Amino acid sequence: MVSRIIPVDAFDLVVFGGTGDLARRKILPALFRRYCAGQMPEGAQVIGAARSEMNDAEFRAFVTEAVEEFNGNFQYSDEDLQGFLSILFYVTLDALGDGGWSELATKMQADRVRVFYFSVGPSLFGPLAERLHTYGMADMNTRIVVEKPFGRDLETSKALNRSLADHFDEHQIYRIDHYLGKETVQNLMAIRFGNMLFEPLWNSQYVDHIQITVSETVGVQGRGDYYDRAGAMRDMVQNHLMQLLCLIAMEPPSRFEPDAVRDEKLKVIRALDPVDPDNIVRGQYSAEGDRAGYLADVGDPHSTTESFIALKLHLSNWRWAGTPFYLRTGKRMRARSSEIAVVFKETPHSIFDEEAGRHRNILTIRLQPNEGIDLDVTIKEPGPGGMRLVDVPLDMTFTEALGPEAEYVPDAYERLIMDVVRGNQTLFMRGDEVEAAWAWTDPIIAGWEERRDKPLPYDTGSSGPVDALALMHRDGRRWREVRS
């Protein structure tokens, strides 16, 4: 396999919140890896901007530590690192005042793409956008990148969209959902729309149900304040799982282009039925040995926020009427494993005797770890003794199928940031999509609040509360095992 680097013109990229956690863990290491891949053209500049007093040398030392700590097994030379550091600069900036803005403006080069990454809380989105205009840094080549949480309900997300729209056109606003940047998530589109094999079967006539699982082993990881106000519904379902659902359920877009794809995703969200409370299970992880439970992690013994959620959903449209979608996500579960499973129906009639059993095809898209795609097919068990059937996977583990070069899967942030530089919005959420997702989520959360719903405890290292298993059992189905 030959990896292709698509060249880009020189650009200026400013990271607001450049000394923050996301910048340190994700954004700056991702930019470094793109630098090593040869994708930073001559003259490109990366400028950190934040409240902390720092000079360029101190920022470079900060980035060096971030690169060393958050690059996993990625191999690089000292020359790579020194080269990257030489394109880094820093400006101390007051997001709500005037300090540092003129200095930042003087660092911008004329006539080139400018990316402003808002790696800050949403309350600063409006003030930053406004100052970019006041200080003459915004033109048609300017793009802004905003992170989740994009609001906490429909009303706040609308207000955020309005405040950005006051200063930038929609085609300049890149709302990141890093799940869309994951390699296998894009492969999902390649599988569906690049093959003749699957699309004719991709509907309720042939698909029994679809499961989406995003299971994590980590807890709230020092983000207790934020997480306890969000919970799994706002933190994961409204965005990441919703985006996966959209890609799996949408109609084929006419082209792989931003609005064509996003129009189809929006239709999926709008076709979602309201969810019956009986079809939702909420959970909260308990203490185990010397590992604190959720309540201690967030420092509130009375918190009723969920760290796990499982739901059964229906889409009211021709393609999916009658096919349920089961979604679940949780923290402190048995394994880190995210996958989508498309479970096909059994054959309408079996020509074999009972002993052969009934079987089904399952297409599994493994997002992480061990990215790949499996298709379970039914074959004859080898050997004499009659017709016994067995399911075997046609395994498309990318590293095995594509050779060692596929072992390096660029991180979602690497791909998404370079898409911003290239001006490609296909893998970013449009404002109306985000609002539609909140419009569906809000009544569910309001229902919990009205009923003073309490999440069920579950053991660390389990698959969530047993009621989540029952959610499927009562339909005669079962979750796939969570394994890494």
> With respect to ligand BG6, which residue has the nearer C-beta, 223 or 480?
223
> With respect to ligand BG6, which residue has the nearer C-beta, 201 or 409?
409
Q: Which residue in 285, 340, 337 sits closest to 308, CA to CA?
A: 285
Q: Is 12 in the site for ligand BG6 (CB under 6 A)?
A: no
Question: Would you say 216 is a known binding-site residue?
Answer: yes
> With respect to ligand BG6, which residue has the nearer C-beta, 85 or 437?
437
The least distance separating ligand BG6 from the CB of residue 418, rounded to whole angstroms, comes to 18
Q: Which residue in 344, 422, 399, 420 sits closest to 376, CA to CA?
A: 344
Site residues (CB under 6 A) for ligand BG6, limited to 424-463: none
Q: Which residue in 389, 337, 391, 390 sits closest to 368, CA to CA?
A: 337
Residue with token string 């047993």: 466
* Residue 400, both tokens: 């095995």
Q: With the C-alpha atoms ordered 370, 371, 376, 380, is the resulting torsion angle positive or negative?
A: negative
The least distance separating ligand BG6 from the CB of residue 249, rounded to whole angstroms, comes to 20
Q: Is 306 in the site for ligand BG6 (CB under 6 A)?
A: no
Task: Spot the catalytic one: 167, 240, 314, 359.
Answer: 240
Site residues (CB under 6 A) for ligand BG6, limited to 237-276: none
Question: Would you say 423 is a known binding-site residue?
Answer: no
- Cα end-to-end span (Å), the chain: 26
Question: Would you say 18 is a known binding-site residue?
Answer: yes
Contact, 17 vs 118, CB < 8 A?
Answer: yes
Question: Would you say 345 is a known binding-site residue?
Answer: no
> With respect to ligand BG6, which residue has the nearer C-beta, 138 or 341?
341
> With respect to ligand BG6, which residue has the nearer C-beta, 234 or 359?
234
The least distance separating ligand BG6 from the CB of residue 181, rounded to whole angstroms, comes to 9
Question: Would you say 26 is a known binding-site residue?
Answer: no
The least distance separating ligand BG6 from the CB of residue 36, rounded to whole angstroms, comes to 21
Q: Which amino acid is present at 451? A: R
The least distance separating ligand BG6 from the CB of residue 448, rounded to whole angstroms, comes to 19
At 171, give phi and psi (nearest 5°).
-70, -5
Residues paired with residue 378 on neighbouring β-strands, in sequence order: 391
* Residue 283, both tokens: 């959970």
Q: Which residue in 481, 466, 216, 455 sits closest to 332, CA to CA?
A: 216
* Residue 65, both tokens: 């530590």
Q: Is 235 in the site for ligand BG6 (CB under 6 A)?
A: yes
Contact, 393 vs 376, CB < 8 A?
Answer: yes
The least distance separating ligand BG6 from the CB of residue 166, rounded to whole angstroms, comes to 27
DSSP letter at 362 equals E
State the Cα–Cα distance between residues 105 and 114, nearest whole angstrom.
Answer: 11
- The yes-or-no answer on residue 240 being catalytic is yes
The closest residue (CB) to ligand BG6 is 235
Residue with token string 């990881």: 221
Applying CB under 6 A, among 216, 297, 376, 419 the residue interacting with ligand BG6 is 216
Cα 409 to Cα 73, 297, 389, 405, distances in angstroms: 12, 32, 36, 9
State the Cα–Cα distance between residues 386 and 371, nearest whole angstrom.
Answer: 37
Residue 452, classed as helix, strand or coil, is coil
The least distance separating ligand BG6 from the CB of residue 227, rounded to whole angstroms, comes to 7
Question: Would you say 380 is a known binding-site residue?
Answer: no
Contact, 131 vs 89, CB < 8 A?
Answer: no
Question: Would you say 23 is a known binding-site residue?
Answer: yes
Site residues (CB under 6 A) for ligand BG6, limited to 150-179: 178
> With respect to ligand BG6, which residue has the nearer C-beta, 34 or 209?
34
Question: Would you say 454 is a known binding-site residue?
Answer: no
Residues in binding contact with ligand BG6, number by CB under 6 A: 3
> With respect to ligand BG6, which residue has the nearer C-beta, 39 or 307?
307
Q: Which residues are annotated as a binding site?
A: 17-24, 51, 148, 178, 182, 216, 235, 331
Q: Which residues are catalytic?
A: 240
**Residues of the shown chain interacting with ligand BG6 in the complex, contacts defined by CB under 6 A:** 178, 216, 235
Q: Which residues are annotated as a binding site for substrate?
A: 178, 182, 216, 235, 331
